[in-house]
Structure 1
C-alpha cells in the first residue's frame, strides 16, 4: 500500500513538473490571438522598444525577445512572421497579442480574436543555407620576427660638406 502511494505521488509530481515547462520547448502552440489597437502606437514594450501598429511584432508570455514566430490563422490558413518584443497577453484565454499590421496580414481585424497556430522559426530566413560550406579562416596573427623577414641594411656614414 505504501509503495502504491509512493508511485502515485511520484507520478503526480512528474506530471505537475511537465505542466510547468514553458511553451519554448514545444514546436508549436494553438490558441486565441488578439491584437494591439492602433492607439498603442508609441507605448514602450517590455523589451524597451516602442510599439508601432505598422510593424510585424507581437507579445508572448515565454519566448525570448527577438524570437521570430510564424503565426497562422486557422480559419483561412494565412500566415505572417512576427518578432517577439513584449510580454503578454495575461488572462482572457489568449496566447499571443499581435501588432495591428500582423493581424491585418492574416485577416483577423474584423473578428478581433482568431484561433491561430504559433510556430517558432529556427531559421527565420528561408533561403539562407543552414550549413555553410565556406572554409574557416584563422585570423590569428603570426609572431613577427624582423630578423627573419627583413635584412638590416647598413646605413652609409653621413658626411658633412663644409663650404
Structure 2
C-alpha cells in the first residue's frame, strides 16, 4: 500500500511538472533584449528575427501569443508576439526585440523590471459586437429566365446549335482555267 501511494504521488508530481504556466495572467520580472546584430537569426518558431519587429522570447507561452509588456518605472507599454523560446537563466522572464525594448525605453539599462500579461485580458476599445445581423439572400429565379439561363445566353445557345454552313469553294481564276 505504501509503495503504491508513493508511486502514485511520483506520477502526479511528474505530470504537474509538464503543466504550462500559460494560466498565469500577470508575471513580474526582469526583461532583456536582443542585440541589433541578431537580425536575420532564426528563432525557435522558424521565423527570422528582425530588430524592428515587435517580437519576444518566452519560456511557456505558445508561439504567436500576443503579450502586453509594461515598464512600471516609466509606465510605457508595448504589445509583442512570441516567436522564440527563452530566456534561460539569469533570472529573466522575457527577451524582447530591440524595437520593443526601445518602445519601453530600456535600451540604456539593458535589463529592466517589467510586467508581462497575455493580450487576451486587454480590453480592445470599440470592439464590434458579436451578434451581427447577416443580410437575407434570395436565391429564387424570375419567370423570365428559363432553365436558369439568361435570355441572352439562350440566344447564343441557339446560334451554336445550328449546323455550320459549308464554306463555298473558290472559283478558279481565269489563268487557272486557261491552264486546263
Q: 2:127 maps to which residue?
A: 129
TM-score, normalised via structure 1 length? 0.71
Report the CA distance between 1:71 and its aligned residue. Answer: 0.3
RMSD after superposition: 3.6
Give, in whole Å, the separation in 1 of the partners of 2:128 and 2:84. 28
Question: Which segments of structure 1 move beyond 3 Å, counting only runs of 4 or more?
Answer: 10-21, 136-139
TM-score, L = length of structure 2: 0.65
Gaps of 5+ in 1: 159-163
Q: Deviations over 1:89-140 (max 9, x none)?
A: 111211100000100111111111111100101177823526423125799x
Matched, 1:98 2:91: no
Match of 1:50 among 38, 48, 51: 48
Distance in 2 between residues matched to 1:64 and 1:120, nearest whole Å: 11
Aligned residue for 2:50, secondary structure, equals: coil
Alignment counterpart, residue 117 of structure 2, candidates 116, 119, 126: 119
Give the deviation of 1:35 after TM superposition. 0.2
> Compared with structure 1, are the counterparts of its residues 122 and 40 closer, same or farther at alpha carbon in structure 2 (3 Å cutoff)?
same
Larger Rg: 2
Alignment of 1:1-163 (within 5 A): 21-122=19-120, 126-127=124-125, 129=127, 131-136=129-134, 150=146
Deviation at 1:75, TM superposition (A): 1.6
In the alignment, structure 2 segments of 5+ residues that lack a partner are: 148-157, 163-180
Q: What is the CA deviation profile of residues 3-30 of structure 1, one whole-angstrom value per residue up to 9, with x for unaligned ones? A: xxx8xxx999878866753221111111
